[in-house]
Structure 1
């Protein structure tokens, strides 16, 4: 649904049919078809904008008198789901968002409600809009880290049967948000470079400051990606330890019964004149000897710390 805002001292929503004072900056949220009817952009700009509207990446194109770009923002509530896609057009006095959904209207309403604009310009509005896109991301990444630490504790406690799937989920989500941050760093840096002199020096500095903010988020997400790899290695180490413990247990059992197997094999040869076969206490003596051998082996294993 189309929405119009006017930049006077702050951002203010107005009816679509309200006349705009000369020189006032306007912010609008419209669909692609509605943008084509406005006639504010040339054919090349309009063609590029149509392409960017459905883009799966965050990207910026610089024209002599305008900037156009696309956003593909991961939804923090479902990072593996569909990205939130929309585009924008910026010139000296107009900021137009092309959005088939409600994400742009919701963020602009937040800007209007908070009243955070330092100057009533289209570039300042875009800056505040982009700030809101990453506003709570540091908290989100901290929450991801907390959940990864919980998984680490599960792995150490040898509950790895539920940890593997979670680790893969963390890595996939972090890869997606990491890609978004990388693209957003490029976009903010390009806007801040101000190649077409569309922005004032102050506005360009704002976008460079936003670039640094996103770079910090990017570094944090990359640190968490490395952490996810460490979790995977820790998980594999725990599996190896479990397998080694199992093999060690089987080895101990085999070693314990090896002498007993020798004794039973020896006395199972059934030679007619084998000494001890006719002895009255032979059977009991063999039992005592087997028990003594097992006890001696257990004592040796304990001293060697094999048990």
Structure 2
């Protein structure tokens, strides 16, 4: 979706055929095919920008008179799906987004409506744009943490199968988010370093502050990654406890029947002169003896808390 914005004095949407003055700061959203018609940069830069528009990576490249880069933004509602990919070109007067969807237009419309860009520079607009990319991420990460705590409760309640599937999903989502934050920190840091002196001192400071904000999000996501590992360890511990309890139960059952097995084996030898074979109360006496032995064992197991 092609769209053009000018600063008058705030960021304002205008018609695509709106005439541009030599000192105007222009923000545009176009497709990769339309970028060549703007005449910005040489053929090598245009080819590089065309390739960046579809790459699933957040990346920045510095040229003597311009900056080009790409964004691969995870969809917070469907983190495991394909990221939102688009590229950008920045020089002294132009900020051009190469986007085959409407992602950039939506964010720029928000900037225009809120009138947050008080200084008419395309670099400041890029700063506000990048801020919007991570605007609600603290809420998103807090929601992830809440759901992980619910899974922890499920693990402690031994709902193992459900918890295991959810833990794997959390880990994959956090890996995607963590990668995005790491790349965004690198991009903001490079913009703040201002290697080619394209930005003013104030603009570079804005990106340095953005770098610090994204670093806080990165640390938060890394903490949640560690939490997911702890959940995995807790899950494995619960599995071990269940296995130990199962083995303990089998051990108790085996121990209960060991004396009975000995008695039945003893009286199953059928020797002719075995005492008690001719006693009329021998069979009932053996039944009573077995019941007494089991009862005594149960009392002992209860006292030792094996049952």
Q: Secondary structure at the match of 2:284?
A: helix
Q: TM-score, normalised by structure 1?
A: 0.98
CA contact (8 A) 1:8 1:25 kept: no
Q: Secondary structure at the match of 2:161?
A: coil
CA contact (8 A) 1:29 1:99 kept: yes
Deviation, structure 1 residue 299: 1.4
Indicate the residue corresponding to 1:222 in structure 2: 222
Deviation, structure 1 residue 43: 2.1
Indicate the residue corresponding to 2:110 in structure 1: 110
CA shift digits 1:79-128 (9 cap, x unpaired): 11111010000011111001010000000000011111131100000000
Indicate the residue corresponding to 2:256 in structure 1: 256
Query: Structure 2: how far apart are the matches of 1:34 and 1:205?
Result: 32
Query: Structure 1: how far apart are the matches of 2:185 and 2:161?
Result: 38
Indicate the residue corresponding to 1:186 in structure 2: 186
Deviation, structure 1 residue 302: 1.6
Which runs of structure 1 show a deviation greater than 2 angstroms over 4 or more consecutive aligned residues?
none
CA contact (8 A) 1:8 1:24 kept: no
Pairwise mapping of residues 114-263 of structure 1 onto structure 2 (< 5 A)? 114-263=114-263
Deviation, structure 1 residue 226: 0.8
How many residues in Structure 1 have an aligned counterpart in Structure 2?
307
Query: Structure 1: how far apart are the matches of 2:276 and 2:2?
Result: 105
Query: Structure 2: how far apart are the matches of 1:247 and 1:280?
Result: 41
Deviation, structure 1 residue 166: 0.8
Deviation, structure 1 residue 8: 2.6
CA shift digits 1:236-291 (9 cap, x unpaired): 11111111111100100000010011011111111111111111211111111111
Query: Structure 1: how far apart are the matches of 2:177 and 2:130?
Result: 15
Q: TM-score, normalised by structure 2?
A: 0.98
Q: Secondary structure at the match of 2:203?
A: helix
Query: Structure 1: how far apart are the matches of 2:71 and 2:272?
Result: 93
Deviation, structure 1 residue 22: 3.3
Q: What RMSD over aligned residues (CA atoms) do the two structures have, in Å?
A: 0.9
Unaligned runs of 5+ in 2: none
